[in-house]
Every structure is written in C-alpha cells, then in structure tokens.
Amino acid sequence: MADDRAQRIRQLLADLVGFNTVSDRSNLPLIAYIETYLASFGISGRRLVDDTGQKASLWVTIGPEDTPGLVLSGHTDVVPVERQPWTGDPFTLVERGGRFYGRGTTDMKGFVAVCLAMVPEIRGAKLKMPIHLAISYDEEVGCVGVRPLLRELSRAPVKPLGCFVGEPTQMQIIIGHKGKHGVRATFRGKSCHSSLAPSGVNAVEYAAELIAEVRRRAAQLATEGERDEMYDVAHTTLLTSVAQGGTALNIVPDECMMEFEARGLGMNESKEVTDAIVAWAKAEIEPQMRKAEPSCGIDFEEILEYPALDVKPDHPLVALAKQLGGRNSHGKVSFGTEASLFVSMADIPTVVVGPGSIEQAHKPDEFVEISELSKCAGFIERLIAHCTQHGGLTAA
C-alpha cells in the first residue's frame, strides 16, 4: 500500500476514533468532520437529520448522478466502553504490533476511514457509474439510523445496483445473516401481602410460564426447525435474556418485565416465531390473569427487528465482490447488519465485506489489523477500476 495512503487511513481513523460516538450521543461533530473532509475535494454529501436533531446520516455520490452505482456503507456509532478494562483511552488511537487499537477500530470506523481515504482516488477516476457512501448512525441499537435513508432510496428515480456493507468479516464475502426480532412483555398483576397470596395476581409467576414456553420452543426449533449448515448455529435460536420483577419476599409481585428474542434463518422467520409466542401468551396466560382480576394482563412491545440477509450465491453482486476481494469463497455470519435492510427496504442487493474481525468488536482493547485495512483499500481500488470500465455489475 502506498505510504501516503496508509498515512491517510491512519490519520482519518485516529480522527474518527477521537469522536465519542457511543450510540446514545450525538454523531453530528463526526458528520461535520466528514463533510469538511469531503468538501476539501469539492464533494458535498446530503445530510438526513433525525427527529431529535442530534444525529444524522450522510449520503454521498461521487461520479455520474443519473446512473445506477454501487454503495459503500458503514455506521458511525460505537458500543459503550463502561465497565470494560481498557488498557488506554478507548477514544485515542494507538498503534502497536501492526494493529490499531481504539473503540470502533474494527466495528466499524476502520472501514469508514478506508472509504474516506480512497475519496481522492474515487474523485480522480473517470467513473462510468457512481460510487456512493452511506454513512449511518444508531446501528448498534437495532439498525435504526439507516432506515430513513433507505426509505428515500427506495423512492429514488435512480437506484444503486448493489451495496457493500463494511462490517468486520476479515474481507470475506458474506451473503447471509440471521434476522432478529425482540419483544418486551410486561406482566401486570395485583399485589398483596404474601400471607394472602391466593388473592393476588403474581406477575413473576405468570412471566415464568412464558419463560418456560420460550425455552420449550427454543429446544423444538433446535431439533425440528429448519437448518442452514453455513451458520455456526445452524438453526433459529430463541431465548429470554432479561427478566425483572418483584420487590420483597413478603409481597405478591404486581409487575414483571421480560425480554425475549428470536434470531431466525429465513427472511421473516424471527418475527413469525415471536408473533406465535405473543399469540400463545394472549390465549393461554392472559385469560387466567384476567379471570383473577380484570385489570391484569400482559403488554407486548416490539423492541427491535431486522430481517435476515439471504443473497443467492450466484447473484452478479456476489461474483463482483469475489472479483474485487480476490477470493472465490463466500460465507454466512450469525451477527446482524444493515445489509438486510438495504435488501428489504430499498430492494438493493447487498453483501457484507469489511476489514477486521467481529471477534474484537464490542470488546475492551478493540483493534483492527493494519493489513486488513490495506486489503480493504485494495478492494476499493479494484472497485474504482471496475466503475471506470463498466456501467453495471458484470463486465458485459
């Protein structure tokens, strides 16, 4: 990798890591930084600000506006660092042993830094088809921030032909990931002194019935459900991950909150699984609670959802990604990404390919191998070459 390019990547990554963009904070300073950087090459992006006015995504087009192009997509938010034993300041980039350390280096400011570092090359090329940057926010809290952008793209007169989401895959071409649907159930019971237990409605015990049912169905999915052996866990998974209720030993609890999630193989399977559980609880548990006390019951709330990604291995975008990545294989991963939303919301074929390993994501002393960033720069270099030679996904 050319020395000045490596230097540019390093500087951009250091700057990006320096912005504390944990998902509960504003990302506007970081977006302004990117805008200023792009402006130095005469490029302006389009900001989409959210309802709070505190967060924005950025849509950038380099090359002919009236031609379908290819998207490089990444999120700007990172996960929290609290209660993690970091060796140094998580928001100061440190280079050590061929690695860059810092929050977001692998997930996924490393990718964003490489995309930005390649902007001079993209800008200088005679592109037949445009290269877009889609920079989002609030990915780590349920792939939220990319959605308004995708709603716009779905209505755009000229739609991109494909998208590369740069989540860390060690530059492997990822054609599938599971979907996810999360539900919060709040059980409203009736409290009383525990010596009078039969006259109360025990919210914790009713919640326990639902927890047991979730567990029973999880076991059933594991043994009888569909399988896809390309995943580490080949079947749909289901679990209760949060349960909170009760205040004291001698009080019948009047409230219990539990959260459960499904991670499903098919496009909509996660939601089908959780919908069936909600329906079961409404039919089997809620009537018992109501019978004891009409005001008791269960409130259900969707807390998170994204569909599965399932791109056909013979899709031209997969072939192009392999060509750009210089490899012939593809895979599937169990973590979710914004890729499936590009497909489901905007009908844009998308694969996941990015530098670094998911192993280091969300952990203390998160790092990315510098060699991974060079590989990513090579991928984008070949993408630029493709877009100067061709007007579509294939060489035809």
Nearer to Zn ion, 35 or 140 (CB): 140
Closest by alpha carbon to 329, among 321, 337, 341? 321
In angstroms, give the least distance from the CB of 139 to Zn ion: 5
In angstroms, give the least distance from the CB of 75 to Zn ion: 6
Binding mask 313-342 for Zn ion (x = CB under 5 A): ------------------------------
Closest by alpha carbon to 310, among 249, 260, 266, 256? 266
In angstroms, give the least distance from the CB of 144 to Zn ion: 13
CA atoms within 13 A on the CB side of 58: 25
Q: Are 352 and 92 in contact (CB under 8 A)?
A: no
Nearer to Zn ion, 75 or 386 (CB): 75
Q: How do strand 70-75 and strand 162-165 relate by DSSP bridges? A: parallel
Q: Are 262 and 270 in contact (CB under 8 A)?
A: yes
Nearer to Zn ion, 5 or 103 (CB): 103
CA atoms within 13 A on the CB side of 259: 9
DSSP bridge partners of 95: 100
In angstroms, give the least distance from the CB of 337 to Zn ion: 7
In angstroms, give the least distance from the CB of 332 to Zn ion: 17
3-class DSSP assignment, residue 227: coil
Nearer to Zn ion, 35 or 167 (CB): 167
State the CB neighbour count (10 A cutoff) for residue 179: 25
Nearer to Zn ion, 35 or 107 (CB): 107
Nearer to Zn ion, 158 or 304 (CB): 304
CA 139 to CA 85: how far, in whole Å? 24
CA 270 to CA 272: how far, in whole Å? 5
In angstroms, give the least distance from the CB of 297 to Zn ion: 37
Nearer to Zn ion, 339 or 343 (CB): 339
Q: Does residue 138 bind Zn ion (CB under 5 A)?
A: no
CA 109 to CA 48: how far, in whole Å? 19
Residues numbered 184 to 203 that lie near Zn ion (CB under 5 A) are none
Residues numbered 160 to 179 that lie near Zn ion (CB under 5 A) are 167
Residues numbered 91 to 110 that lie near Zn ion (CB under 5 A) are 107-108
CA 125 to CA 131: how far, in whole Å? 11
Q: Are 189 and 197 in contact (CB under 8 A)?
A: no
Residue that the structure tokens 């599938």 belong to? 176
By beta carbon distance, the residue nearest Zn ion is 107
In angstroms, give the least distance from the CB of 26 to Zn ion: 18
Nearer to Zn ion, 129 or 333 (CB): 333
In angstroms, give the least distance from the CB of 339 to Zn ion: 11
From residue 321, give the alpha-carbon distance in Å to each of 2, 380, 383. 23, 10, 9
Which residues are near Zn ion by CB under 5 A?
107-108, 167
